[in-house]
Amino acid sequence: MTDETIEELGPSYLGTLDFWEKVYTEELDNFKDHGDVGEIWFGNRASLNIVKWISTKLNLDMENDRIIDIGCGNGMMLVELAKKGFKLLTGIDYSQKAIDLANEILKENNVTCSNLQVCDILDTDNHGLLKNYFKVAHDKGTYDAISLHPDQPADKRGKYIDNVYNILQSNGYLILTSCNWTKDELLVHFKNKYDLIHELPVDSFQFGGKHGNIVTQLCNIFGTLRHHWHMQTPRLLLICRRTPEIKISTTENNFSTNTIKKFETY
């Protein structure tokens, strides 16, 4: 399987800024009127599982390690991370309405350790994010939405992969939730830059017409820690950014898959 042989998902309104502006305009109105934070994409349980895994398995410095939520939406992931004690949190979304909603929700929850900004991760020249800055990048649905864009989605996915790679520290992690791609397809998408280190099973869901979910985490790890890559819908997965310092066993897809560990769902 190659990039050329993978069939695109097809264009969808879910892949456009206009769709998300309308979604978050309505959710912002609902929050102001009723205190409803809106949709927790892929379910609150999955989000809490990710937060607990980040806070207990990555040996992070909560005072100094920076975490970015890519496509933060209503900001609830940042709220949960703040509850765990993380101090340097950033949320970005290309929807101004999403950032407006997230600001309101963070204020309601007394979260003061988070920086929110309107930002398009695909805008290589003007996204405004520093290189090698974040220890952890989290994405729950943004890669899927990009994949549904009606205009050159493959090129946009490539920009996403490159830009996220660049903003992460050399020993940083990416956690990515997707339900629209199979294991083999994602292996091809990410083969040149990322390797899996972990997967977590979660409940299935539907997004953009497909069932399942997967979370991946991107990292660049120094020393002797081995990292691995594996995807299978529905899964919660962890992938890691490849490092030149570590010799990585490879498969035909250039991913190490021989010692994948599975953690129980919390």
For residue range 47-71, list pLDDT tens digits in order.
888 899 899 988 999 999 999 999 9
Measure the CA–CA gap between 198 and 113, rounded to whole angstroms.
28
pLDDT over 60 at 211, yes or no:
no
Selected residue with higher pLDDT from 181 and 226: 181
Q: Which domains does the chain possess?
A: 46-221 (3.40.50.150)
pLDDT tens sequence across 40-53: 555 567 788 889 98
pLDDT over 90 at 82, yes or no:
yes
pLDDT over 90 at 11, yes or no:
no
Q: Using pLDDT thresholds of 50, 70 and 90, give the confidence band for residue 105.
A: very high
Selected residue with higher pLDDT from 118 and 246: 118
**Please, are residues 152 and 199 in contact by the beta-carbon 8 Å criterion?**
no
Q: Using pLDDT thresholds of 50, 70 and 90, give the confidence band for residue 175.
A: confident
pLDDT over 60 at 235, yes or no:
no
Instruction: Quote the pLDDT of residue 202.
Output: 54
Residue 12 one-letter amino acid: S
**Please, are residues 90 and 115 in contact by the beta-carbon 8 Å criterion?**
yes
**Please, are residues 152 and 190 in contact by the beta-carbon 8 Å criterion?**
no
